């Protein structure tokens, strides 16, 4: 932290982010999270205690979206930039399809940080996918993580099942199993979790094994006072009037407005059913801003059905001339709409079945527009603060219509709500007030943080080497002595290749195995399932920085006490145990075993990584320990480009060192756990076993000729 100012790196991967005219409401991935993040980083850029802000998001090159989203670097202000990193196919993709590609995003972020030669003070992740990336970066670099979930998988799953969807169908459609585990891991590792409302903290985060009230900060987002509090300009007002004139017979009537992306959760149909009630439709207009669309037939199925139902209800109740539903609504027009509705004596309808917060209610308050809301989720917090609306039952259209009718016919009450909302939002719900609370917490986290152990330098031993080859030992290197001899000869002859190993064996066992198979001495040794790193440039030296790095939230004795009571876990022999590794035998251990051990540790307030190997061994490690994390720690510490690292493995233990930007080889005698990498463009599956497969990979990647 330089001169008491922070460098904050935000990560928000899915959706569409740009500094000018962001496409909000285009689909379910371009809703409130996009606005929240962009408004937050813009506000940070004006704060005296912020030195630098980066937003890392996905680079997209797709004819269906603007070319802006394919630009590597977009400067929003002298302090604030958007940096775009490749992640999977270049086309625009919904968030559920991005999970297999997050390792590439992580490595791209590591490469960017290495190139700039500067570590951020804080990583702030938005949503589960970014949370997983931030945690991986933190495990490699030692930077504290702040997490804002925006939407949480356990709560979504419960809602989907309550509405009749089968658990398996929900998991398949929304990738909820992987998402929930990512959320668990992020909450486990985060120094601070930011919730937007008391409801979100109490009803959603409490569902997670690693819920800790002391690490959760309820901090409502702010509102852009300049945009929503000030009267809009003449040009945008004229554009709005022209838009509404296409739909409304009498635009001077009180306007009931709704701004929402086309999502069933927003309860848009309830707003139309309410408006259609006798008395209300004759008195008011209804204006629906439902994002942007071109051809309804080309939308995703859920959006397509919802908009078809919207058109059906308008036709069924013959609401033509009273309902506006434009196909596009630029961001600046939304602010004008709030002021138009306020001038007309109307109200905002917020009838969602759930909102983590409900930012449109704050925007309405800022513009002096009363609200009619279901009060679901965080919306009740806003009403408590602003006193600017009424709570209704959206499932009872007749009763809701009656209450709206009463409000609009009571100018004294309407004015009290309008004035209360303006005053309270300006006092309590600005981005400045949000940041003052946020930075108070974050600066304490940074002050308490041990200086990260990573140093972005390049020591002399690698000055001639441009490539690093890291191989697993058992069944990857071992098994073919002739192939090992050929590999030894290539490594010895090539100054541009540095050789290393990564193994579950401890250092002594690794060295014995390498010697027994006559493998050339490695310069880097990652041992004991990634819990130890040694360098070997004439002398075998342990990496003390990695050891200090692993001490993060590691409580081995408490873990032994808890797991010692589990009858199906049997401690392995003393030589298998280590400072950062607790090892057990378990008959028929599998992914369920990992989940059960993790849950047990989490419920006892313990944080650890659980690994199953050879189908009967269970290792409990520090949360920062793994072969992949150790490899990336080395890459950052020694300033090695990840795209110049070549890895080889055969089992699930090797998975995280095979993913990402590294060039991976899976040898022919691999286990089924690695089949998931078949479609990974950076992974080569050799048909040859053991060291012969490694040689095959080196040929594939162009490091050696086929005859070598």
Domain extents in the chain? 6-222+433-448, 227-429, 460-550+625-700, 556-621
**CA distances (Å), origin 9, targets 53, 56, 134, 598:** 6, 7, 10, 29
Residue 84: which residues within 8 A CB-CB, separation 6 or more?
Answer: 56, 57, 58, 59, 60, 69, 70, 71, 72, 73, 74
Give the per-residue pLDDT at 471: 98
| 378 and 355 Cβ atoms separated by less than 8 Å | yes
Question: Is domain 227-429 given the CATH code 3.20.20.140 in the classification?
Answer: no
- Which tokens sit at 545? 């920085």
Give the per-residue pLDDT at 614: 62
The yes-or-no answer to whether 227-429 and 460-550+625-700 have a common fold is yes
- The secondary structure element, H or E, covering residue 216 is strand 216-218
Give the per-residue pLDDT at 708: 67
> Which 3 state secondary structure label does DSSP give 596?
helix
Question: Is domain 460-550+625-700 given the CATH code 3.40.50.1000 in the classification?
Answer: yes
Q: Considering the domain 556-621, what is its CATH architecture?
A: Alpha-Beta Complex (3.90)
Give the per-residue pLDDT at 3: 56
Q: How far apart are CA 623 and CA 554, in angstroms?
A: 8
Residue 404: which residues within 8 A CB-CB, separation 6 or more?
Answer: 256, 274, 280, 347, 372, 392
Give the per-residue pLDDT at 458: 45
The matching CATH number, chosen from 3.40.50.170, 3.30.950.10, 3.40.50.2000, 3.10.180.10, for 6-222+433-448 is 3.40.50.2000
* β-strand pairing of 532-536 with 524-527: antiparallel
Give the per-residue pLDDT at 454: 63
Helix axes 102-116, 127-141, angle to 10 degrees: 50
Give the per-residue pLDDT at 278: 79
Give the per-residue pLDDT at 302: 85
210 burial type by CB count under 10 A (0-12 exposed, 13-18 middle, 19+ buried): buried
CA torsion angle 120 122 124 128 (round to 10) = 100
Give the per-residue pLDDT at 462: 64
Phi then psi for residue 434, to 5 deg, are: -60, -45
Give the per-residue pLDDT at 460: 42
Strand order in the sheet with 663-666: 540-542, 532-536, 524-527, 497-502, 467-471, 645-649, 663-666, 683-685
User: Which parts of the chain register pLDDT below 70?
Assistant: 1-3, 451, 453-464, 614-615, 708
Give the per-residue pLDDT at 172: 87
């Amino acid at each position: 932290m330089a001169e008491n100012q922070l460098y904050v790196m935000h990560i928000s991967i899915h959706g569409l982010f740009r500094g000018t005219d962001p496409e909000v409401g285009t689909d379910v991935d371009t809703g409130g999270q996009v606005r929240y993040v962009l408004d937050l980083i813009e506000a940070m850029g004006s704060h005296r205690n912020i030195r630098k802000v980066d937003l890392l998001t996905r680079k997209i090159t797709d004819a269906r979206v603007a070319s802006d989203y394919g630009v590597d670097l977009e400067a929003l202000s002298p302090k604030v930039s958007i940096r775009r990193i490749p992640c999977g196919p270049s086309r625009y993709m919904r968030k559920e399809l991005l999970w297999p590609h997050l390792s590439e995003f992580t490595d791209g972020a590591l490469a960017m940080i290495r190139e700039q030669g500067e570590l951020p003070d804080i990583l702030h992740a938005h949503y589960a996918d970014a949370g997983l990336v931030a945690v991986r970066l933190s495990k490699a670099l030692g930077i504290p993580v702040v997490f804002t979930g925006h939407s949480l998988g356990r709560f979504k799953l419960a809602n989907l099942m309550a509405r009749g969807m089968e658990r398996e169908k929900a998991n398949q459609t929304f990738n909820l199993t992987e998402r929930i585990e990512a959320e668990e891991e992020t909450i486990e590792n985060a120094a601070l979790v930011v919730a937007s409302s008391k409801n979100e903290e109490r009803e959603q985060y409490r569902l997670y094994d690693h819920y800790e009230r002391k690490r959760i900060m309820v901090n409502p987002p702010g509102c852009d006072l300049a945009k929503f509090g000030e009267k809009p300009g003449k040009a945008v007002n004229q554009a709005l009037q022209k838009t509404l004139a296409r739909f409304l017979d009498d635009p001077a009537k009180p306007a009931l407005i709704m701004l929402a992306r086309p999502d069933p959760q927003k309860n848009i149909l309830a707003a139309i059913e309410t408006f259609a009630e006798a008395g209300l439709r004759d008195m008011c207009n209804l204006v629906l801003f439902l994002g942007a669309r071109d051809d309804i037939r080309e939308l995703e199925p859920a959006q397509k059905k919802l908009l078809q139902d919207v058109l059906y209800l308008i036709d069924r109740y013959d609401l033509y001339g009273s309902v506006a539903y434009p196909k596009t609504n630029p961001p600046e027009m939304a602010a004008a709409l709030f002021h138009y509705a306020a001038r007309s004596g109307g109200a905002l309808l917020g009838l969602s079945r759930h909102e983590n917060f409900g930012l449109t209610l704050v925007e309405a308050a800022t513009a002096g527009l009363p609200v009619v809301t279901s009060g679901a989720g965080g919306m009740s917090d806003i009403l408590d603060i602003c006193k600017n609306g009424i709570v209704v039952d959206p499932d009872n259209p007749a009763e809701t219509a009656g209450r709206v009718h009463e409000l609009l016919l009571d100018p004294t009450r309407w004015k009290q709500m309008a004035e209360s909302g303006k005053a309270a939002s300006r006092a309590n719900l600005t981005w400045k007030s949000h940041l003052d609370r946020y930075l108070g917490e974050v600066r304490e986290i940074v002050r308490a943080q041990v200086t990260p152990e990573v140093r972005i330098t390049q020591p002399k031993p690698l000055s001639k080497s441009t490539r690093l080859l890291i191989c697993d030992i058992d069944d990857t290197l071992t098994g073919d002595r002739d192939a090992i001899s050929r590999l030894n000869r290539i490594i010895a002859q090539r100054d541009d290749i540095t050789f290393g190993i990564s193994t579950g064996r401890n250092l002594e066992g690794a060295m014995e195995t390498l010697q027994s198979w006559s493998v050339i001495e490695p310069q880097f040794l990652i041992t004991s399932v990634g819990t130890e790193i040694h360098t070997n440039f004439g002398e075998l030296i342990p990496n003390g920085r990695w050891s200090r790095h692993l001490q993060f939230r590691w409580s081995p004795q408490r873990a032994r006490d808890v797991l010692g009571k589990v009858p199906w876990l049997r401690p392995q022999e003393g030589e298998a145990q280590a400072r950062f590794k607790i090892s057990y035998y378990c008959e028929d251990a599998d992914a369920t075993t990992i989940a059960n051990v993790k849950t047990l540790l989490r419920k006892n307030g313990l944080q650890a990584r659980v690994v199953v190997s050879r189908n009967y061994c269970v290792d409990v490690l520090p949360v920062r320990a793994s072969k992949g994390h150790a490899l990336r720690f080395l890459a950052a510490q020694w300033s090695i480009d990840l795209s110049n690292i070549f890895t080889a493995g055969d089992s699930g233990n090797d998975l995280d060192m095979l993913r990402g930007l590294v060039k991976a080889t899976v040898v022919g005698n691999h286990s089924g756990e690695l089949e998931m990498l078949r479609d990974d463009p950076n992974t080569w599956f050799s048909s040859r076993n053991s060291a012969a497969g490694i040689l095959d990979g080196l040929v594939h990647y162009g490091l050696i000729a086929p005859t070598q």
